[in-house]
Amino acid sequence: MRIGFIGLGIMGRPMAKNLLRAGYSLVVYDKTAPVSDVLSLGAEGAASNREVASRCDIIITMLPNSPDVYEAVLGVDGIAFGARDGSILVDMSSIAPAVSRAISGELQTRGVAMLDAPVSGGQPKAVDGTLAIMVGGDPAVFESVRPILEKMGSSVTLIGPVGSGNTAKLANQIIVALNIAAISEAFVLSTRAGLDPEVVFTAIKDGLAGSTVMNVKVPSILDGNFEPGFRIQLHIKDLVNAVDTAHDLGVPVPLTDHVLETLRELEREGLGAADHSAIIRYYEELAHTEVRRRHP
C-alpha cells in the first residue's frame, strides 16, 4: 500500500517517519519544508499535491490551518484533481470543523472519502508514535485506515461524522490552554510567596491538581526552556477556531476568550514561536517573579 503524506513540518515529519519505519511506502510533498531526510528513509518525492494524490489510494495531510488544507485539497493542482474514485483523504491537521465538512462535501462528489483526524500530544508524542488521534467520518472508512493511524498514535478514537474529530480537538485545546494558564497563576503565586516551585510541583503533581499538562510543562518551565513543542501561534489558531465555533453554536467561552488574549499579547511581544508553556511569562511579568529551578 502506498500512502501520500503532505505537510512535513514539526509534527508531520516524525509522523511520516513512523509510517516508513512501520514498513509503509510513502509519497511525500511539502511546498516549503525540506523533505530530504524523509526521502533518505525510503520515501518517494512528488512535485505537487495533485501528483501525490494521483499516485496513492490514501492521502494524509498535516498542515497548519483551514486555508492551507482547503488550498491543498481544492486549490490549483490540489488533491481533489489527482485523487482516484475510492481514494481516502485523512486530514490530520487541526482546522475548523465547518471547513472539514465543506471539504468532505466537495470530495464526495468526486468519489473520495474523507476523515478529519487531528492529533494531540505535540512533537514529543509525534516522535514516539504515541499521539492521541480524534477521528470524524464514516465508520467503515475509519476501520480501513485504523492500522495506519495506530502507527502514529497510541489512542485512536472515532468520535462521530466528519467534523467531529476537529470539534473534539478544539475541546482538547481549550483544556490544555486553560490548564497551562492555571499552572502559571498557581506557580507564580507560590513562588512569589517564597516557596520553592520544584518542591511545590513534587507536592501537588500526584494529587487532584496533577495532570499530563503539568507533568510535561512544569519541568520545562523550571528550566526556562520554552523551545517549541507546540507554538503559541498555533495555539492561537486553535483557540480562534474554538471561539468561532462556540459563537456559531451559541456557547459562552469566557475563560477561552481570556487565555486567547493572553496568547495574543505574548505574540505581540515576539513570543509567537515559543512553546505555549510560555503563557507563564505573561504572569511572571505582571508579578515581577520568575518561576525557575533553584540551584544549590
Q: Among 125, 169, 217, 237, which one carries the catalytic annotation? A: 169
Give strand pairing partners of 61: 6, 91
Residue 141 near residue 90 (C-beta atoms within 8 A): no
User: Does the active-site annotation cover 17?
Assistant: no
Nearest to 60 by CA among 192, 140, 153, 187: 153
Do the beta carbons of residue 139 and residue 158 sit within 8 Å? Answer: yes
Secondary element (H or E) of residue 54: helix 49-55
Measure the CA–CA gap between 267 and 234, rounded to whole angstroms.
Answer: 11
Cell matching residue 169: 480537538
CA-CA distances (angstroms) from residue 148 to 2, 24, 44, 112?
Answer: 11, 9, 18, 18
Gap between the Cα atoms of 204 and 214, Å rounded? 10
- 229 CB neighbour count, 10 Å cutoff: 20
Residues marked active site are found at: 169
